[in-house]
A and B are shown apart, each in its own frame.
With several copies, the nearest count.
Chain A
Amino acid sequence: MRYLPLTPSDRQAMLAKVGAKTIDDLFADVPEAARLDGPIRDLPPHASEMAVERHMSRLAAKNQTAGDGPFFLGCGAYKHHVPATVDHIIQRGEFLTAYTPYQPEIAQGTLQMLFEFQTQVARLFGVDVANASMYDGSTACWEAITMARRVTKRAKAILSGGLHPHYVSVANTMAKFTGDHLVTATPTLTAEPDTADLIGQIDDDTSCVVVQYPDILGRIGDLSDLADACHAKKALLIAVVTEPVALGAIKSPGEMGADIVVGEGQSIGVGLQFGGPYLGLFGCSQKLVRQMPGRLCGETTDSEGKRGFVLTLSTREQHIRREKATSNICTNSGLCALAFSIHMTLLGEAGLRKLAAANHARACQAAERLSKVPGVELVSDAFFNEFTVKLSQEARPVVRALADRGVLAGVSLGRLFPEAAELANGLVVAVTETVTDEDIEALATGLQEALA
Chain B
Amino acid sequence: LEEPLLFEIGKLSNTGLDIEEVKAPASRLGGLERKADIGLPGLSEPETVRHYTRLSRQNYAIDLGLFPLGSCTMKHNPRLNERVARMPGFADIHPLQPVDTVQGALEVIHQLAHWLVTLTGMHSVAMSPKAGAHGELCGILAIRAALEARGDTRSVILVPESAHGTNPATAAFAGYKVENIPATKDGRVDLAALQERLGPDVAAVMITNPNTCGLFERDMKAISDAVHAAGALVYCDGANFNAIVGRVRPGDLGVDAMHINLHKTFSTPHGGGGPGSGPVVFSEALTSFAPLPFVEKTADGFALVEEETAGEHHARSFGRMVAFHGQMGMFTRALAYILSHGADGLKQVAEDAVLNANYILRSLEDVLDAPFAASGPCMHEAIFSDAGLAEGFTTLDIAKALIDEGYHPMTMYFPLVVHGAMLVEPTETESKDTLDQFIGALRSVAERAKAGDEALKGAPYYAPRRRLDETQAARKPVLVWNEPQQAEAAE
Whether B340 lies near A96 (C-beta < 8 A) is no
Q: Report the bound CA distance from A133 to B273 in whole Å.
A: 10
Residues on A with beta carbons closer than 8 Å to the beta carbon of B477: 289, 296, 298, 312-313
Minimum CB–CB distance for A116 against chain B, Å? 5
* In the assembled complex, A373 has its CB within 8 A of some CB on chain B: no
Q: Are A318 and B44 neighbours in the complex by a CB distance under 8 Å?
A: no
Rounded to whole angstroms, the CA-CA distance of A89 and B53 in the bound complex is: 7
Given the contacts A18-B358, A166-B324, A335-B272, A433 and B97 also touching, CB distance less than 8 Å = no
Partner of A6 from the list B24, B335, B355 (CB cut-off 8 Å) is B355
**Given A6-B432, A173-B320, A382-B29: A108 in contact with B41 (beta carbons within 8 A):** no
B88 contacts the other chain (Cβ, under 8 Å)? yes
Chain A residues with Cβ below 8 Å from B22 are: 357-358, 361-362, 365, 433
State which residues 341-365 of B face A: CB under 8 Å.
341-349, 351-352, 354-356, 358-359, 361-363
Per-position contact with B for A82-105: 1 when CB-CB < 8 Å, else 0? 011101111111111111111111
Contacts of A352 in B (CB 8 A): 38, 40
Stretch at the interface among A148-156, A197-205, A271-279, A442-450: A271-279
A330 at the interface (CB under 8 A from B): yes
CB-CB contacts of B457-491 with A at 8 A, as 1s and 0s?
01010011111111011100111110000000000
Kindly specify which of B56-64, B194-202, B445-453 makes contact with the partner chain. B56-64
Among B25, B39, B480, which residue has its beta carbon within 8 angstroms of that of A349? B39
A window 35-61: CB within 8 A of B = 35-36, 39-53, 55-61
> Which of A2, A7, A383, A416 contacts B16, CB < 8 Å?
A2
Chain A CB within 8 A of B105 CB: yes
Q: Which of B75-83, B279-287, B383-391 contacts A (4 or more CB under 8 A)?
A: B75-83
Is B441 part of the binding interface, using a Cβ–Cβ cutoff of 8 Å?
Answer: no
CA A325 to CA B178, docked complex, whole Å: 13
What are 25 inter-chain pairs, A to B, with CB distance below 8 A? A17-B363, A29-B218, A47-B342, A53-B80, A56-B108, A56-B335, A67-B92, A96-B269, A98-B61, A99-B72, A99-B270, A106-B464, A110-B59, A135-B134, A173-B141, A178-B174, A222-B30, A251-B32, A264-B323, A274-B95, A317-B165, A322-B169, A333-B274, A334-B274, A355-B17
Contact with A along B409-442 (1 / 0, CB 8 A): 1000010000000000000111110100000000
Which residues does chain B contribute within 8 Å of A26, judged by CB atoms?
Answer: 351, 354-355, 358, 377
Task: List A residues 352-383 near B (Cβ within 8 Å).
Answer: 352, 354-355, 357-358, 360-365, 367-368, 381-383
Known: A167-B323, A323-B171. A276 touches B165 (CB 8 A): no
Known: A83-B80, A99-B67, A302-B467. 7 other contacts (CB 8 A): A10-B432, A113-B52, A122-B479, A274-B328, A310-B468, A345-B16, A349-B13
Q: How many residues of A contact B (CB 8 A)?
A: 215
Contact A274 B57 (CB under 8 A): no
> Is residue B244 within 8 Å, beta carbon to beta carbon, of the partner chain?
yes
A419 CA / B63 CA spacing, docked (Å): 50
Residue from B11, B332, B399 in contact with A103 in the complex, judged by beta carbons closer than 8 Å? B399
Chain A neighbourhood of B466, CB < 8 A: 105, 302-304, 306
Q: Tell me if A232 counts as interface (CB < 8 A to partner B).
A: no
Question: What string of 1s and 0s marks CB contacts (under 8 Å) between B121-158 and chain A?
Answer: 00000000011111011000100100000000000000
Asked if A76 CB lies within 8 Å of chain B CBs, one says: yes
| Category for how many chain B residues contact A | 35 or more
Nearest neighbor of A8 in chain B, beta-carbon distance? B13
Answer yes or no: A172 CB below 8 A from chain B CBs.
yes
A23-39 to B contact mask, C-beta < 8 Å, 1/0: 10111111101111001
Contact with B along A235-271 (1 / 0, CB 8 A): 0000000000001111110010000000010000001
Report yes or no: A108 in contact with B58, Cβ–Cβ below 8 A: yes
Residues of chain B with a CB closer than 8 A to A186's CB: none
CB distance from B217 to the nearest CB of A (A): 8
Most-contacted residue by chain A among B19, B44, B335, B363 (CB, 10 A): B19
Q: How far is the CA of A139 from the CA of B321 in the complex (A)?
A: 8
Q: A1-B345, A53-B80, A272-B93 are in contact. Are A346 and B15 (CB under 8 A)?
A: yes
Instruction: List 6 tightest A-B contacts by C-beta distance, closest first.
Output: A348-B42, A60-B89, A275-B324, A382-B30, A335-B271, A93-B63
**Complex alpha-carbon distance, A11 and B67, angstroms:** 21
Instruction: Tell me whether B184 is interfacial, beta carbon within 8 Å.
Output: no
Q: Let me know if B468 and A99 touch, CB within 8 A.
A: no
| B82 & A381 in contact (Cβ 8 Å cutoff) | no
Most chain B beta carbons < 10 A, residue from A123, A247, A416: A123
